[in-house]
Amino acid sequence: MDFGLSDEQKLLEQTLRRLLAEVAPPSRVREIMNGEAAHDPKLWAQLAELGVAGMLVPESQGGGGLALLDAAIAMQSLGHGATPAPFLATSVLAPVALAAGTPAQQRAWLPRIAAGDALLGVAATEVVNKRADAGMREAGGRLHGKALFVLDAGAADAFLVAIDRDRIALVPRDGAGLTVTLLKTIDRTRRVAELVFEDVTPAEWIGGHDGVVGLTDRVLAAGRVALAADILGACERAIELAVAYAKQREQFGRPIATFQAVKHLCAEMVAELEPARSLVWYAAYAFDERPEEASLLALHAKAHLAEIGTTIVRTATEVHGGIGFTDGYDLHLWFKRVGLDRQLLGGPERLREEAAARQW
């Protein structure tokens, strides 16, 4: 019985946070996020060098061969830094999807992912909740339709497009008949896109053959755990900022941290955060070690972190008072990061509905 991070995992967290504090502090985050693709090739190369880009890629393919818990720790650090980096789609969802791919598909993509040379966007929203004017369909091996909120689309070289519960298509960004339009969300640290498919022939199909069932569900579970971890990291940062600010800001002749009204807001944030941290670790562990529980735990982790996450970033803003509402102060980076995370791959109500349907 050992529920906690290993020394290696703690080291990963420390190393990553130190690097991000150094090379991607909020001032640099703002520069990157104001670029068209919200992507910094140099930063991604550094992360690849650390082994972060390919941590879920098997060692035989040049990656770290690590587990989702390790990826969750990395994602948490990226959330903590509000770091613009295509980790979710390229380094979490793509390796999980490609694990069901053919040896040739794996050889073609996984080593390049691990080296930081290939970026993949992921279109999964259409199998989670399809809008009236969107949705994907396949006819005669060709793709038609519209995929919304495609993840990490800014600099993606290719897209993994979930068609149904068992099949994912791989389409190059410059594929004939594909139009990519970046969308503007409140969160400028990441780019989501609309993909319009007009008779597009995928370069590859992953899944859709014997022995691969529930591929999309597996990808969604990994993504939901990772998003929960991103929220966790963002909330940690928001609380750090709020507590530090409350200790130094004086009103009525004393630090506002001495007022119980302020203290209790901070205590409520941490009282929600710590059990949530345990939940995220548990869901990430279960993904690899308790597959029969994994999907339900991922739903719980994402839905719960979405709920407490929005409350925490809002509360952290209130602790700051007016300064927290300004553009010049950095707190809103995390407020907005959580705002986007909350909706991606299913908002909390949608996820709870699925959790209920799975059980009762």
Amino acid at the residue 33: M
Q: Is 266 in the site for another protein (CB under 8 A)?
A: yes
Least CB distance to another protein at residue 307 (A): 7
Q: Which of residues 297-356 bind another protein (CB under 8 A)?
A: 297, 300-301, 303-304, 307, 349, 352-353, 355-356
- Which position among 225, 241, 246, 312 is part of the footprint of another protein (CB under 8 A)? 246
Side-chain-side CA neighbours of 306 within 13 Å: the count stands at 24
Cα–Cα distances in angstroms (integers) from residue 10 to residues 55, 69, 80, in the given order = 15, 12, 15
Beta strands 158-162; 120-123: pairing state? parallel
Q: Which stretch binds another protein (CB under 8 A): 85-93, 166-174, 212-220, 272-280?
A: 272-280
- Which position among 109, 281, 334, 335 is part of the footprint of another protein (CB under 8 A)? 281
DSSP 323: G
User: Cβ–Cβ contacts within 10 Å for residue 346, how many?
Assistant: 24
Least CB distance to another protein at residue 359 (A): 8
Size of interface with another protein, in residues (CB under 8 A): 45
- Which position among 278, 291, 323, 325 is part of the footprint of another protein (CB under 8 A)? 278
- Which position among 22, 59, 274, 318 is part of the footprint of another protein (CB under 8 A)? 274
DSSP 100: T
In the structure encoding, which two tokens stand for residue 229, read together? 């971890």
Q: Which of residues 118-177 bind another protein (CB under 8 A)?
A: none
Cα–Cα distances in angstroms (integers) from residue 219 to residues 87, 164, 303, in the given order = 14, 12, 16
Q: Which is nearer to another protein, 123 or 220 (CB)?
A: 220
Q: Which is nearer to another protein, 183 or 267 (CB)?
A: 267
Residue 110: name the closest of 122, 120, 123 by CA: 120
| Residue-wise burial string across 70-106, b where 16 or more C-beta atoms lie within 10 A, e elsewhere | bbbbbbbbbbbbbbbbbbbbbbbbbbbbbbbbeeebb
Q: Which stretch binds another protein (CB under 8 A): 50-58, 114-122, 243-251, 310-318?
A: 243-251
Is residue 257 classed as helix, strand or coil in its secondary structure? helix
Least CB distance to another protein at residue 60 (A): 24
Q: Which stretch binds another protein (CB under 8 A): 21-29, 49-57, 105-113, 294-302?
A: 294-302
Bridge partner residues of 250 (DSSP): 255
Q: Which stretch binds another protein (CB under 8 A): 117-125, 163-171, 277-285, 309-317?
A: 277-285
In the structure encoding, which two tokens stand for residue 79, read together? 């959330």
Q: Give contact residues for another protein (rule: CB under 8 A).
A: 1-6, 69, 243, 246-247, 254-255, 257-260, 263-264, 266-268, 270-271, 274-279, 281-282, 285, 289, 297, 300-301, 303-304, 307, 349, 352-353, 355-356, 360
